[in-house]
Amino acid sequence: MTTTTRPAGPPQQTRTPRAGAGQKRPFGLVRHSLALAVRSLIKTIRTPEQLIDVTLQPVMFVVIFVYLLGGAISGSQHAYLQYLLPAIMVQTLMFASIATGVSLNTDVEKGVFDRFRSLPIARSAPLVGSVVGDLIRFVVSIVVLFAFGYAIGFRIGTNPLSTIAACLLAIAFAFAISWIGVLLGVLMRSPGAVQGTSFLMLFPLTFGTNMMVPTDTLPGWLQAWVKINPVTDVMEAARGLIIGGPVAKPVAHSLLWTVGIIAVFAPLAVRAYRRRA
């Protein structure tokens, strides 16, 4: 009998997994969201006409309400300006939050989010990045509003730190409302539908408040709505922090509403996006 001996083949090499393959890097969601927020910021800088609504709209509201209604409501346009401007800030930021849902819906319809889905990033990062990136719109709106307000006679009645706190509170609440816009942006079929639905939602929330007149001057049925409207708390908190007045209760209520809205609508938006994607 002859024995055939086969030459030994090369030793099998153990395949070493690539660095990061199957492993989640720490703070991945934060890094990916910030990168996409920078993308949103660059898009805004390259198309500055997107800032028209947050720069001209608050100025137009102040001019219309103060100079047409101020004398009749308060007897003094300056006194009415002091009362109105903090509430206009809150209203403007809420209207600015609509753009988040509209821009998101546009990206989804154009297939941009399909590209994001193919990248090794967190599934919720595009949504978080869109919301965070639009914060620059809120800051620009506040700067323009206060600059114009000071030009026509508005003056802070407290101190700069309280005013900054009021602005941060309004931005935080608008950030929470943006998640409702994100949910609409994912669910709706067109940017026009997102914008129309958002306005239908925001008009009773912003105008059904004590923005233009004190609550006790309203009819009883409207007072009931104004008192339970979360936007009323934010406007009262902004007034107290900027021109003086009670702040503890409205600030606490505003923070609770902000946390509650984010806790409800952010997960719903992420879930709706995952189902659509």
Per-domain residue ranges of the chain: 29-276
Name the percent of the chain lying above pLDDT 90. 38
Mean pLDDT of 97-107: 79
d(CA 47, CA 42): 9
Angle (deg, nearest 10), helices 160-187 and 125-133: 140
Characterise 29 by phi-psi region: left (phi > 0), alpha (psi -120 to 50), beta (else): alpha
266 in Cβ contact with 186 (< 8 Å): no
pLDDT tens sequence across 13-55 = 444 444 443 344 546 667 777 777 777 777 767 766 667 777 8
Biggest CA pair distance of the chain:
120
Residue 221 has pLDDT above 70, yes or no: yes
Distance CA 158, CA 238 (A): 11
Determine the residue type at 215: T
Please give the Cα distance from 252 to 256 (Å, whole number): 6
Amino acid sitting at position 27: F
Alpha helices (H) in the chain, listed in sequence order: 28-46, 52-64, 70-74, 77-96, 98-110, 112-118, 125-133, 135-151, 160-187, 191-207, 220-228, 230-243, 248-276
From the number of C-beta atoms within 10 Å of its C-beta (0-12, 13-18, 19+), residue 203 rates as exposed
Residues 6+ apart with CB under 8 A from 155: 82
Per-residue pLDDT of 123-145, as tens digits, reads 667 777 777 777 888 888 899 99
Token code pair at residue 155 = 């003056």
